Structure 1
Amino acid sequence: MKTLRALVPGQRGRVVNLGEKGPARRRLMDMGITPGVEIEIVKVAPLGDPIEVNLRGYELSLRKSEAEQIKIEQL
């Protein structure tokens, strides 16, 4: 299974799992990243951090470490 970090700009995926439990997972869920939601990579900073994604009609920036916790299936 891929992580969100493995996608490149323009690719889409559907969230399958958010990784381990705890405050980091709760924060991701509060931002709208829940199982079943579709995410598209908009752009990646030159050094790879942060990653800008589009989900639920808005754009969100994530750290590489956060993107590595999000397991997806590529669409």
Structure 2
Amino acid sequence: MSTIAALKLGQTGIISEESEHVIPLKLLEMGCLPGTMVELVQKAPFNDPLYINVNGSHMAIRRDIAEKIKVTNL
């Protein structure tokens, strides 16, 4: 098990159930739910923020939050 921040560009993972309590409400409302596939699309300069694809929606998240969200690699 790793985190969103540990994914390589283009790599996907499934958000784990144990991350439910660390995901901010705003991300939950945008579809970043446990059991959902997430793909790391791009890293900004200095690796913060990270751009991810969740259900066809691209969003930027801060690296410190991405390090808390655990994923299982596909």
Bucket of the pairwise TM-score, normalised by the shorter protein: 0.7 to 0.9
Aligned length: 73
The normalised TM-score by structure 1 is: 0.86
Name 2:55's counterpart in structure 1: 56
Segments of 5+ residues of structure 1 without an aligned counterpart are none
CA distance in 2, matches of 1:53, 1:25: 15
Percent identity of the aligned residues?
A: 36
Aligned-CA RMSD value:
1.5
**Superposition pairs of residues 14-53 of structure 1, within 5 angstroms:** 14-16=14-16, 17-18=18-19, 20=21, 25-53=24-52
Segments of 5+ residues of structure 2 without an aligned counterpart are none
The normalised TM-score by structure 2 is: 0.87
Segments ≥4 residues shifted beyond 3 Å: none
